Amino acid sequence: MVDNIVVVKFGGSCLSTPDNILTAAKKIAVEASSGKSVVVVVSALRGDTDKLLSLAQESTLNNVSKEDLDEILSMGERTVVRLIATALKSQGLNAVAIEPSSSLWPVYTDSAFGSANVDLESTEKATTEKLLPLLTEKCVPVVAGFLGLSPDGKITTLGRGGSDVSAVILGRCLDAGEVVFVKDVEGVLSADPKKVIDPKKIDFLEAEEAYSLVSAGARVIHPKALTYKQNSMNLRVVGFNANDLRGGTLITGEVQADLEIRTRPIPLSMITLVALREDSLNVLLSLLTDVLPSNTKIMGIALTSGSILLYVENASRLVLRLHEMIKNEGLAKAIHCIDSVAMIEVLGLNLEQIPGVVDVVVSPLAREEINLYGVLTISSTIKIYVPWNERETALSLINEQLSKFKNQEEK
């Protein structure tokens, strides 16, 4: 058994010069000298994949098959593994370059060229049989990220950002304690440095929080990579210019992968505020800063130019405050409150990307004439609001319908 395994993934932007490649090799040498068993995963050099893509498309007048294109695009990573392995050898390490033509190749996929899906069972078997013995012999495997082999032995690619997926998959299959992503930023930042001044590094994130950020476009880790993370393995994002591979941002926990349906055990109230003209946002800001009682929880918000819908727990004091502000300060035109509202949540990865899923959830309620007080979609969550006395029926209908939907998708 090999203990203390760490997978280190270098982004292509960190390997753009000979000095950078040498620095990367020295960082790995330090990790190895500390007693860790290190697996390195690399991306193509910055811009190389785009150059290969452009050459392939323009030289064929866009008449290149996905299968041929994957073979061409693979050359970026297949070159870099050799460069890194050679640099590691110069530091006195026993390193081996591993790419799809190697007998040691561990990552297997389906045949969806251009965006292949990892065959986890085959990959775990190959990783155990091929990479673990190398680690036992104190060898440092340098594995090409982004790439896989189809069932018939053809090169596939995992889609843009696929090297992140490769790293987490290998970490999972090796039961690694940590996967380290070496980036050109010091860690996960509080905002996009291109859009704000002096963003702050976040020291710790839960996997769900990280998934929300990257799904919204933060370019730190590919969202799909996070779906393979397990509780037993931490992820770490560190800057290439850091002194070592510690620090940065530590990501713990795991993302809820399977569909889950749950209902809030406490009834809510639905408050409707009719705003003055088109100042709903100003009303909402005032509400959140000046009006909200400490024991009131907002469980959903819908905003239009002329009104605001709030789904809240413990609404009575809030309604009284809001009405006083309407009378005395002209906060809005009017307020209306419906009590005994149930909230049902449907959660699952990439839920918002499944065509027709909202209709799948809502249509059985309409057929049974269950009144809807609102439907909100937020990231990978659908929130449905129905009368409290019909929540059990609604929950049963949604469960039944989603079970049918999942079965159809699997077929």
Q: Tell me: the pLDDT tens digits for 376-385?
A: 887 678 899 9
Instruction: Locate CATH 3.30.2130.10 in the chain.
Output: 260-410
Angle at 375 (CA atoms; ends 266, 213), nearest 5 degrees: 90
d(CA 57, CA 54): 5
Cβ–Cβ under 8 Å, residues 276 and 229 = no
pLDDT band at 348 (very low <50, low <70, confident <90, very high): confident
- The pLDDT tens digits of the residues spanning 187-244 come to 888 888 888 888 899 999 998 888 888 877 778 898 889 989 999 999 999 999 998 8
Q: Which of 166-175, 304-313, 365-374 has the highest mean pLDDT?
A: 166-175
246-259: b or e for each residue (b if 16 or more CB lie within 10 Å)?
Answer: ebbbbbebbbbeeb
What is the percentage of the chain residues whose pLDDT exceeds 90?
Answer: 58
Is the Cα dihedral 306, 307, 308, 311 positive or negative?
Answer: negative
pLDDT at residue 294 above 80? no
End-to-end Cα separation, the chain, in angstroms:
39
Residue 331's pLDDT is 75
Summary mean pLDDT of the chain: 89
The lowest-confidence range among 27-36, 263-272, 310-319 is: 310-319
CA angle 25–221–355, rounded 5-degree value:
150
Of 121, 73, 134, 120, whose CA–CA distance to 100 is shortest?
73
Q: Give the length of the chain.
A: 411
C-alpha 48/C-alpha 111 separation (Å) is: 24
Domain 5-252 in CATH 3.40.50.1970? The answer is no
Q: From CA 176, how far away is CA 188, in angstroms rounded?
A: 21
pLDDT tens string 51-78: 999 999 999 999 999 999 999 999 999 9
pLDDT tens for residues 3-56?
Answer: 799 999 998 889 989 999 999 999 999 999 999 999 999 999 989 999 999 999
Is the CB of residue 127 less than 8 Å from the CB of residue 170? yes
Cα distance between residue 7 and residue 174, in whole Å: 9
Q: In this structure, are residues 312 and 299 in contact, taking their beta carbons and an 8 Å threshold?
A: yes
More confident residue, 282 or 353: 282
Residues 6+ apart with CB under 8 A from 71: 154, 155
At 378 the pLDDT is: 75
Q: pTM, whole model, 2 decimals?
A: 0.79
pLDDT of residue 314: 86
Q: What is the pLDDT of residue 156?
A: 97
Nearest to 107 by CA among 98, 118, 116: 118
What one-character DSSP code corresponds to residue 289? Answer: I
Per-residue pLDDT band for 355 (boundaries 50, 70, 90) equals low
Report pLDDT for 289: 67
> Is the pLDDT reported for residue 411 higher than 50?
no
Mean pLDDT of 370-389: 88
Question: What DSSP letter does each residue of 189-249 carry, written as one string?
Answer: BSS-TTTSSSPPBPSEEEHHHHHHHHHTT--SS-HHHHHT--TT-EEEEEETTSSSSSSSE
Looking at the predicted structure, is the pLDDT value of residue 183 above 70?
yes
Q: What is the CATH number of domain 260-410?
A: 3.30.2130.10
Q: Where in the chain is the domain with CATH 3.40.1160.10?
A: 5-252
92-146 per-position pLDDT tens digit: 999 999 999 999 999 999 999 999 999 999 999 999 999 999 999 999 999 999 9
